[in-house]
Amino acid sequence: MLDDDEIERLIAATALDDRAAFNALYTATSAKLFGVVLRVLNNRNAAEETLQDVYIKIWHNAGRYQVNGLSPMTWLITIARNTAIDARRRKTREADGDLHEMLADSAPGPENRMSEGSGHARLSACFAELEPDRAGAVRRAYLDGKSYAELAAQYGVPLNTMRSWLRRSLLNLWECLGR
Amino acid sequence: MTNTPDKDEDRVLAGEYAIGLLTPDEAAAFAARLAVEPDLRRLVRQWTEDFACLAEDIEPETPPAWVQAGVDSRLFSGPARGPLGVFRRVVVPLMTAASLVVALFLVSDPGAPGVVSDPGAPGVQPPAPPVYQADLEAEDSSLVFSAGYDATTRQMYVERRQGTARPGRVLELWLIADDNPPVSLGVLPDNARVRLPVPEALRDRLEGGVLALSDEPPGGSPTGAPTGAVLAVGPLMDV
């Protein structure tokens, strides 16, 4: 995996329609993004189709990367995850929950970036402070793209209970992350 | 940093939004606030960075080679320019985009002011790049507008798909760029399709900007800033 600066450079070149840079970006990141998409869709054929959509979005939206203020891997992972969840929900026609293009958030400035390693360690420590069930539900909500309704069914609790669990856990995480 | 209940509520909402747990209505309401509240955007960005760390636990897996070939063929085979090329650049990202915005396509004919037509219609010339496009929809879908910037005529086309201003009120269109205060692009007349000139100073700020519609008294906001409710918002997408 290339470092953040290199990936950022490839995204910037992709925004200028540089196909060689786009290919290099694909080579450097497709295995990670395929993993992310597979995790949500849990189906190889669907994941392969969706991964194409992901890179097509990346090509078209590379010029918007800077204005999002996200670190490059976060931006790519968010596109992959959201596209996969979109595909899954479109397929299951599930009404509950919605998903948003992070692309739509024209947030400025690259402040508050963290290096991947330290961010992960910090986050893991904070997840460890949550009750195991609740930590698991938050992880599933993010990694599997599960809705409140799906999580409630999975954990055998009413939807409102699941919602309070998650919301309380988010607040605990926020406090733990020291903000 | 204070820990008032309102602040906590916003932190939680931003987290739910970043994960995609809100209902469509809740998400639309939150998105409307995001357009005008930089602090909220910062919260969403922080959550997004945090959660992306979770993906480190996911094992990379090399996709089969045909996937990349498929991407290349979908992006680069066929005419690079012309209506089909533009059609792909606009419609493909919209079709796969999440559902806050209504996928809608707007092509203008620079030679015929006010003409708005479907993509692919014979004789329609796509606007010269760069062009930005936005869909604005109210939380309850009572207002649905679409906008597209034509760099050739330097005008913002606005098409009314649904809804009008309340009696005795008008709708005013705003551009919000980065953390800057909203700048008015003008009051929308009642026509279904209008063109608003985009002042030179604003043209460089369209990229990454957000369009918003607010409820204003006749003649538009008297203060130069939105005075009524922000009714609909939509990010300008790079076409």
The residues near A36 (Cβ < 8 Å, ≥ 6 apart) are: A77, A80, A81, A84, B55, B58
Q: How far apart are CA A29 and CA A121, in angstroms?
A: 22
Q: Which of B3, B36, B48, B139 to probe the A interface (max A CBs under 10 A)?
A: B48
DSSP output for A13-51: HHHTT-HHHHHHHHHHHHHHHHHHHHHHH--HHHHHHHH
Q: Domain-by-domain residue ranges, chain A? A: 4-104, 119-176
How much is the pLDDT for B51? 94
Are B115 and B233 members of one domain? yes
Nearest to A97 among B23, B89, B93 (CB): B23
Which CATH number covers residue B179?
Answer: 2.60.40
B52 domain residue, yes or no: yes
How much is the pLDDT for B179? 65
Q: Do A63 and B54 touch (CB under 8 A)?
A: no
Are B226 and B156 members of one domain? yes
Quick check: helix, strand or coil at residue A80?
A: helix
How much is the pLDDT for A121? 86
Q: At the topology level of CATH, where does A4-104 sit?
A: Rna Polymerase Sigma Factor; Chain: A (1.10.1740)
Q: In this predicted complex, what is the ipTM?
A: 0.84
Q: At the topology level of CATH, where does A119-176 sit?
A: Arc Repressor Mutant, subunit A (1.10.10)
Are B122 and B36 members of one domain? no
Range A123-132 average pLDDT: 92
Residue B136: strand pairing partners: B145
Question: What Å distances lie between residue B54 and A43, A47, A127, B107, CA to CA?
Answer: 20, 19, 10, 41
The Cα of B159 is separated from the nearest Cα of chain A by a number of Å equal to: 20
Cα of B10 vs its chain's centroid, Å: 22
How much is the pLDDT for B113? 33
Q: Which of A89-93, A140-144, B40-44, B105-109 has the lowest mean pLDDT?
A: B105-109
B85 domain residue, yes or no: no
Q: Which of B49, B76, B88, B236 to probe the A interface (max A CBs under 10 A)?
A: B49
**Cβ of residue B57 closer than 8 Å to a chain A Cβ:** yes
**Cβ of residue B101 closer than 8 Å to a chain A Cβ:** yes
How much is the pLDDT for A101? 38
B150 domain residue, yes or no: yes
Which is higher by pLDDT, B1 or A34?
Answer: A34
B112 domain residue, yes or no: yes
Q: Which of B21, B32, B71, B67 is nearest to B213 (CA)?
A: B32
Are B191 and B127 members of one domain? yes
Enclosing domain of residue B211: 100-238
B11 domain residue, yes or no: yes
Tally of CA atoms within 13 A in the half-sphere of A48 that contains its CB: 11
**Cβ of residue B201 closer than 8 Å to a chain A Cβ:** no
Are B150 and B230 members of one domain? yes
Contact B207, A63 (CB under 8 A): yes
B70 domain residue, yes or no: no
Q: Which residues of B197-233 are buried (b: 16+ CB within 10 A; e: fewer)?
A: ebeeebeebbbbbbbbbbbbeeebbeeeebebebbbb
B82 domain residue, yes or no: no
Count the domains in chain B: 2
Ranges of residues in chain B with a pLDDT under 70 are 1-5, 78-130, 178-179
A-chain CB neighbours of B63 within 8 Å are 30-31, 34, 47-48, 51
Q: Which of B1, B9, B19 to probe the A interface (max A CBs under 10 A)?
A: B19
**Cβ of residue B73 closer than 8 Å to a chain A Cβ:** no
Residues A55-65: tens digit of each pLDDT: 999 999 898 88
- Burial class from Cβ neighbours inside 10 Å (0-12, 13-18, 19+) for residue B28 reads buried
How much is the pLDDT for B199? 85
How much is the pLDDT for A120? 81
Antiparallel, parallel or unpaired: β B155-162 and B193-197: antiparallel
